[in-house]
Amino acid sequence: MINRGRIGTFGISYQLLNIGDQELRDIDNRVLGSISVRSHLGVASFATRIGRALQAGLNFKLVQFRLSCRGQCVDGGIDATTYAVDAGVQLEPVSNQPLRFGAMIVHAGPRLQVVNAEQADPLPTRLRVAAAYEILDRLLDNPNFRLWASLEMEDRWRDLGSPTWRLGAELAAGQSEVLFVRAGYVYSTIEEVRQTEGAAVGLGLRYERFDLGIARSVTGRSLGPESEPVYLTFGLAF
């Protein structure tokens, strides 16, 4: 949900990650109960323009990890909550050129405490810098079609030196009612990121105050092809 005001743009969003359920069985393979794993993310956002060329934005995020057990369980499950902050800026240095630069720090906040303070897990704080350029601006004299290409570098805030690279493209057709076709590729030398390395595709539609997007990874490396997740987003501006 988005509200565009005079001093800036406000937004509220919620994300649910459902890992799924798993049966608990004893040594004789009898079902004792089931475990469900869910992650909840609530985000409050604000962005504003500073002068002609600079924009800045801030996210405040409330994160909760919940492991619930039903049936004959050894314990009552796990419920861990923390918060995080994202902060970034975007610069358009030349007024007559469709060129943008951006930088941000994401997932900055206290550790996620599941068991106790000694076993708390640090948040995956990341530094990101990126550049984007609208390619069709010089090729076509038609504002109904725009093709943005972007390159982003992401690195771990606490251990710089092993960046992840992201290459993306977005083709937009239309003005007030816009259809988007998106594609991207991720490359990294970090082992945990390499599991999701590869390409992804997506479609988007903006109609009046409504935004709808759908995306899917096409690598099939981290999960089986039959279980690769599809990401669906919905937005409303008022």
Each domain of the chain, given as residue ranges in start order, spans 1-123, 125-238
- Residue 221 pLDDT class (50, 70, 90 cuts): low
pLDDT for 89 beyond 60: yes
Residue 116 has pLDDT above 70, yes or no: no
Residue count (the chain): 238
* Cα–Cα separations (whole angstroms), residue 194 to 105, 184, 185, 213, 217: 21, 15, 12, 25, 13
pLDDT at 97 over 70: yes
Q: What is the mean pLDDT of residues 46-55?
A: 92
Name the pLDDT band for 208 (thresholds 50, 70, 90).
Answer: confident
Mean of pLDDT values over 93-105: 92
* Structure tokens given for 64: 């909760």
For residue 41, name the pLDDT band (cuts at 50, 70, 90): very high
Residue 26: pLDDT band (50, 70, 90) is confident
CB neighbourhood size of 167 (10 A) = 14
Confidence (pTM): 0.75
pLDDT of residue 74: 65
Q: Give yes or no for residue 120 having a pLDDT over 90.
A: no
